[in-house]
Structure 1
C-alpha cells in the first residue's frame, strides 16, 4: 500500500477536489471524524469546510495547515468499505492524527480503488502536529498495515535512501551534515539537466542551489552554494559553499551529472509526457487538483510563480525513475506558459484538442523507434526532439498514412537546406 502525503494551505481546494468527485458519483464518504453531520446524516462541503476552518486559530503561525493523503492498495486488492475505513483509522492514529478532525473519501474513478484523507496539521491551540520524518513513519505504518490485514505487498520499489532522507532541520546544529547527506542521495539517485530541475528535486528537502561567479587573481571561477529553505522556498540559513561540503557536490560534479543525464532521460520522456497529458485531460480546475491527479500516477509537480502569481516554471518529478523534467523538455505544448494560460482560464483546455495533442500520445511508440533508428547518427537526437516539437505545435500532424521514417528524413533534409542557404548568403 502506497501513501502519498502533501501539505497545502488551500483547505477549500483539497476538500473541493474530493467533494467534486462525490457529486459526480466517482467517490463516496467513508468516514468523518470530529466533524458536523446534518440531521439527514449527510456531510456537505460547506459544513466540513466551516468546521475545519473554525478549528484553525487566527494567530496560527503554520502556513500549510492542511494534511492531504491518498492511500493506494495494490491494484489487485479488493477491499470492503469497512476494511478501508478501519485501515484509514489505524493509519491516522499511528501517524499522530487520531484526535484531529478528518474526512475519508473512497475514489472509484479509476480501476485502482483508493482513499483520500483530508485533515488539519494544527490542533485547536495552533500547535503543529509532529511531521518529523513523516514519510519514513508513514512507510513503516503502511508496511505494518499490510501485514496486519494480509494485504498484497505493493510492487512499487522506491530507493530506501530516497524514502528516508529527511528535510533539512535548521533547529539542529548539524546543518552542514544534513545538507551533505541530502545532496549525496539526490546526486546519486536523480537525473536532471539544469539547476532549475535540480532545485525542483531539492525543494522537497527544504534545500536550494544557487550558482555563484567569483574572480581570483584575474581568473574567473564558477561555483555553487546550497541554502536551507522554508516551505515556500525562502532562505532560512546562511548559504553553504559546495567546497565546504566536498568535491562531489561542487560545480564540476553537478555539471557532469547534467551532461550524463541528457542521454539517460530520453527513454523516460514519452512515458512522463503521456502521464501529464492524461492528467490534464481530466481538466483539473486547480493546481492542487493537478497535483493529486499526477500523484495517482506516481508523479510530483513543482510549480514556480513570480510575485504577481504568474507561473514561470513547471517541473515534473518521477521519484521511482529518479528524474526531473521541466515542462519545456516534454515539448512546446507543455511549457510553463501553457499551464499558466490554462489555470488562468480553466474553461478552455488545449490538452483536449485531439488535433494538437492527440498525435503526441498515439505516436510515442513510433518516436521510440525513430530514436533507435537514429542512434549514433549525427544530430539524430536533435532531429527526434524537433519532430516531437513539430507534432506539439501542429506543424507535423498524422494523416493516417504517414511514414514516420520518411518524416524524419525529410526533416533532416529541410534542416540541411536551410544551413546551405545561410552559407550562400554569407
Structure 2
C-alpha cells in the first residue's frame, strides 16, 4: 500500500475534487469523523466545508492547514469497505490525526480502487499537528498495516507499475498521453541525480529528455522537452514540451527530484558498485557480454558513445531499487573512460589489478558505508569525472549554443579546485 501525502491551503479544492467524483458515481464516502451529518444521514460538500472551516482559527499561523492523502493498495487487492475504513482509522490515528475531523472517500474511477482522506493540519486552538518526518512515519505505518492485514507489500505495487508501463509507440497515436504515463511513472519510482541518468532510465521506454533555454522579454527561462525515440535512441517524433504534459514533469520538478535523490542513492552505492566490480572481474569481452552478465545481477547498463565510437558515458540502472547511477558516481575507477579503455583492449582488465587507478580493489569491495564527513581529493576527482561525463552527453543538451555550458563547466571546476585546496590545508 502506497500513501501519497500533500498539504494545501485550498480546503474547497481538496473537498471539491472528491465530492465531484461522488456526484459522478466515481467515488463514495466511507467514513466521516467529527463532521456534521444531515437528517438523511448524508454528507454534503457545503456542510463538510463549513464544518471544517469553522474549526480553523481566524488567526491561524499555519498557511497550508489542509491535509490530503491517498492510500493505494496493490491493484490485485480487493478489499471490503469495512477493511478500508479500519485501515483509514488506524492510519490516521498512528499518524497523529485520530482526533482531527476527517472524511474518507473510496475512488473507483480506475481499475485500482483506493481511498482519499481530507483533514486539517491544525487543531481547534490553531496548533499545528506534528508533521515532523511525516512521510517516513507514514511509510512505517503502511508497512505495519500491510503486515497486520496480510496485504501485498508496497514494493510490489511499485514493481508492477514499472513492469506494466509500455514503451512509447508513435504508431498507437495519443503520443502525449503515452509520454506522460512514462515520465510520471519514472518520476515516482526512480532516483537520479542528473539528466544523463534520467535519460538512461527513459531510454528503455523509447523516450529522451532534453534541456532547453529560452529568453522572453529579456528574461531567461529553463525548460524541458520529451522526445520519442526508436530502439537505437534516434528521434522519431516532434518534441513535447513538459508544460504541455502538466505539473510534476517540468524543469523545476526534475531538479527537485535530483536534489532529493542525492541522499536517497547513497545507501545503494555499495551494492551497485560491488555488482559491477564482480561482473567486470569475469572479464566480459564485449559490451553485449557486459549487458548479459549485469542482467544476471539485476542491473541494466546504458552506454553512450560519440560518432567515433568512444564511450563517453555509462550508467547502471537497478530497476528493483529504482535507481540510475553514472559510472563516475560509483567512484573514479568506474568512470566512462575506464570502460572505454577496457573495451579497447579487454586483455588488460584493471578490475583484476591490486590497485584501480590508485584505489585498492579490496577497498572498493568493502566500501559498504558512505562517509560524506570525510571528503578527500579522490571524491573531488570523481565529481570532476562526473561533470565531464554529463557535459559530454550532448544527447540531452541541444540548445544550439554551447558557450554557456563551457562557461558553467569551467566555473564548477574552479569551485572544485578551491575545495581541494581548502581540504589540503586542513
TM-score by length of 2: 0.52
1:220 aligned residue? 220
1:251 aligned residue? 251
Q: What are the superposed Cα offsets for residues 98-122 of structure 1, whole Å, 9 maximum, x if unpaired?
A: xxxxxxxxxxxxxxxxxxxxxxxxx
Contact 1:158 1:319 in 2 (8 A): no
1:380 aligned residue? 373
Q: Quickly say closer, same or farther: Cα 1:319–1:416, change in 2 above 3 A.
A: closer
1:141 aligned residue? none
Q: Quickly say closer, same or farther: Cα 1:159–1:417, change in 2 above 3 A.
A: closer
2:241 aligned residue? 241
Please give the residue correspondences for 1:277-316 in structure 2 after superposition, counting only pairs within 5 Å.
277-316=277-316
Deviation at 1:383, TM superposition (A): 5.0
Deviation at 1:418, TM superposition (A): 3.7
Q: Residue 171 of structure 1: SS of its match in structure 2?
A: helix
**Number of equivalenced pairs:** 236
What is the alpha-carbon distance in structure 1 between the residues aligned to residue 205 and residue 374 of structure 2? 33
What is the alpha-carbon distance in structure 1 between the residues aligned to residue 192 and residue 184 of structure 2? 14
Q: Residue 320 of structure 1: SS of its match in structure 2?
A: coil
Please give the residue correspondences for 1:90-109 in structure 2 after superposition, counting only pairs within 5 Å.
none
The alignment status of 1:327 with 2:327, answered yes or no, reads yes
The alignment status of 1:186 with 2:202, answered yes or no, reads no
Q: What are the superposed Cα offsets for residues 75-117 of structure 1, whole Å, 9 maximum, x if unpaired?
A: xxxxxxxxxxxxxxxxxxxxxxxxxxxxxxxxxxxxxxxxxxx
Deviation at 1:422, TM superposition (A): 8.1
Q: Quickly say closer, same or farther: Cα 1:421–1:387, change in 2 above 3 A.
A: closer
2:353 aligned residue? 353
What is the alpha-carbon distance in structure 1 between the residues aligned to residue 324 and residue 248 of structure 2? 20
After superposition, the CA RMSD in angstroms is 2.9
1:419 aligned residue? 422
Q: Residue 248 of structure 1: SS of its match in structure 2?
A: coil
Q: What are the superposed Cα offsets for residues 97-151 of structure 1, whole Å, 9 maximum, x if unpaired?
A: xxxxxxxxxxxxxxxxxxxxxxxxxxxxxxxxxxxxxxxxxxxxxxxxxxxxxxx
Deviation at 1:172, TM superposition (A): 1.7
Contact 1:360 1:388 in 2 (8 A): no
Runs of 5+ unmatched residues, structure 2? 1-154, 386-417
Contact 2:328 2:382 in 1 (8 A): no
Contact 1:314 1:327 in 2 (8 A): yes
Deviation at 1:192, TM superposition (A): 0.2
The alignment status of 1:171 with 2:165, answered yes or no, reads no
Contact 2:329 2:382 in 1 (8 A): no
Q: Residue 301 of structure 2: SS of its match in structure 1?
A: strand
Please give the residue correspondences for 1:40-119 in structure 2 after superposition, counting only pairs within 5 Å.
none
Q: What are the superposed Cα offsets for residues 190-230 of structure 1, whole Å, 9 maximum, x if unpaired?
A: 00000000000000000000000011111000000000000
Runs of 5+ unmatched residues, structure 1? 1-154, 372-378, 393-414
Q: Quickly say closer, same or farther: Cα 1:177–1:337, change in 2 above 3 A.
A: same
Deviation at 1:364, TM superposition (A): 1.7
What is the alpha-carbon distance in structure 2 between the residues aligned to residue 351 and residue 265 of structure 1? 23
